[in-house]
Amino acid sequence: MPVDHAKSSDEPLLVDLALQGGGSHGAFTWGVLDRLLEEENVTLEAISGTSAGAMNAAVLAHGLLIGGKEGARDALFQFWRRVADAAMFSPFQRTPLDRMVGRWSLDYSPAYLATDIIARLISPYAFGATGTNPLRDILTDLVDFDRLATGRFKLFITCTNVRTGRGRVFRNPDITAEVLLASACLPTMFQAVHIDGEPYWDGGFSGNPTMAPLVRECDSHDTILVQINPILREETPTTAQEINNRVNEVSFNATLLKELKMMALLHKIADKDDGEGWQWGQLRLHLIKSDLLATLGASSKLNAEWEFLTMLRDEGRRAADEFVRLHRKDIGVRSTLDIDSLLEGV
């Protein structure tokens, strides 16, 4: 097992990233990544991402390949700026009252309310072929997928196979703009994305994100999980919006929690296992999250105003800065997330 001693701040640290999805809340992850890229001695080996986390992962990896850490920071900025520019023409806008009182949700947006009702009654297939997703053009313009295919940064992008209900993890050679769109395909809003003849939905149903490849296929023993969807809420939801929001959070955290519990069990038997249990037992897990995200409702995940995205980015930078200040010396030494506590009540 690793020796428990502090690492020098000058010693290179090899890390992996696990990035959750969550619509425009992925701008929080943008901020986290922007801050972590300022750490000169942190070297990135791999990223597992789902939905918005998948897009952050691909854009980050592309930026690192073409321009190092500054190239990655610029690529992430360009991606989210383009998302905000495209959203200027979206019907999903806050009401004047929401803007006046500083409320970020779309709970009172006529277009959002109408779409929410329609999505419960009418399939996205009822309208025939859909138009071009603006994210496809943004991703195609900003990411060189041919270069990613042979790049040194390992990418693991999760999508959910509609036919089998199982997750599929796409790796560098197979990642395209269509794969990233499939990883973010909400079935009540979009038609399934077909890849190799198979229909796919949002990867959050089967892995948000998938952790196993980071353990089995990487040299790094340190994984930083960037959490978008709150796991714990103290109060019971009572309004329709609160209930819908909590159902969304529980659904998209379920597979991650199951995987973390498996990791915790393997961690306990690591000393007695010379095989894969030992490998899982070496994992050191770290978490970056923000209580602010727990105050934002599900509808705000469709709010892509630049002001909102940059607010989330700044919060992500703040959370990452706090993590670096408190736990920088723990990377390479010990976990800072107690996954054993997840076994309580199991």
pTM of the predicted model as reported, rounded to 2 decimal places: 0.90
Q: What is the rounded average pLDDT of the residues 173-201?
A: 95
Q: Give the Cα separation of 48 and 171 in Å (integer).
A: 10
Burial 100-118 (b: 16+ CB within 10 A, else e): eeebbbbbebeebeebbee
71: Cβ contacts below 8 Å, ≥ 6 apart: 63, 64, 65
User: What tokens were used for 51?
Assistant: 């939905």
Each residue of 205-264: pLDDT tens digit? 999 899 999 988 999 999 999 999 888 888 888 887 778 888 888 888 888 888 888 777
**What is residue 346's predicted lDDT score, i.e. its pLDDT?**
47
The yes-or-no verdict on residue 34 having pLDDT over 80 is: yes
186: Cβ contacts below 8 Å, ≥ 6 apart: 201, 202
Q: Give the Cα separation of 218 and 9 in Å (integer).
A: 23
Q: Give the Cα separation of 131 and 189 in Å (integer).
A: 13
At 3, the pLDDT band (50, 70, 90 cuts) reads very low
**What is residue 280's predicted lDDT score, i.e. its pLDDT?**
63
At 4, the pLDDT band (50, 70, 90 cuts) reads very low
Q: What is the rounded average pLDDT of the residues 311-340?
A: 94
Answer whether 126's CB lies under 8 Å from 172's CB.
Answer: no
Q: Give the Cα separation of 89 and 176 in Å (integer).
A: 26
264 vs 297 pLDDT, higher one: 297
